Amino acid sequence: MKKITSLILGGIILLLSSCASIVSTSKYPISINSNPSEANIVVTDKKGDQIYSGNTPANLILKASAGFFVKAEYRITFTKDGYNTKTVPVKFKLDGWYFGNILIGGLIGMLIVDPATGAMYKLEVEVFNETLYQSTANLNEPELKVYDINEIPSEWHQHLAKVSK
């Protein structure tokens, strides 16, 4: 009788568990580096909310889920004086272990546990090594600016010449 009870209890636990939650995680570490180092970084989620702000190199942990059945998306923006700003996406994809629920986790794992915990998603890239390029804009050089006729000061009107009919 104890063997049957143990088998039934083990079967229930197996059916109520979820595959991706067992072998995967819902939070992932990422490493952010830049060349040159000491660049300012800001990590934002897909709503635009700031998740992290600091300098490279940096290590942080990001959640894989942005809600029930919604994978997370983040953006890392690199800035440094004298260099062009660079923004790179941080994306998650469907974890292959999620489909293990068909054999092991059952419907509860597939429709409730893994989507609620975010374990159904995994990080596409864990290490970000980004190269920043020096800005070609020089503030001391003259530049060409194009103005709309309604934007120029009134004292410039006397110097205007008509170039076509």
Distances (CA, A) of 75 to 42, 78, 91, 141, 156: 8, 10, 9, 33, 44
Task: Name the nearest CA neighbour of 92 among 111, 120, 68.
Answer: 120
User: Over the range 133-156, which residues count as b (16 or more CB within 10 Å of their CB) and which as e?
Assistant: eeeeeeeeeeeeeeeeeeeeeeee
- 82 HSE (CA, 13 A, CB side): 4
The amino acid present at 139, given as its one-letter code, is L
Helix (H), strand (E) counts: the chain = 4, 10
Please write the tens of the pLDDT for every residue from 92-142: 887 766 566 666 656 666 566 666 676 778 888 899 999 999 987 665 667
Cβ–Cβ under 8 Å, residues 120 and 114: yes
Task: Name the nearest CA neighbour of 36 among 127, 121, 129, 103.
Answer: 129
What pTM was estimated for this model as a whole? 0.66
How far apart are alpha carbons 43 and 88 in whole angstroms? Answer: 10
Percent of the chain whose predicted confidence (pLDDT) is above 90: 36
Report the C-alpha dihedral over residues 16, 22, 24, 25, rounded to 10 degrees.
80
Residue 42: count other Cβ atoms within 10 Å of its Cβ: 15
Percent of the chain whose predicted confidence (pLDDT) is above 70: 66
Is the pLDDT score of 1 beyond 80?
Answer: no
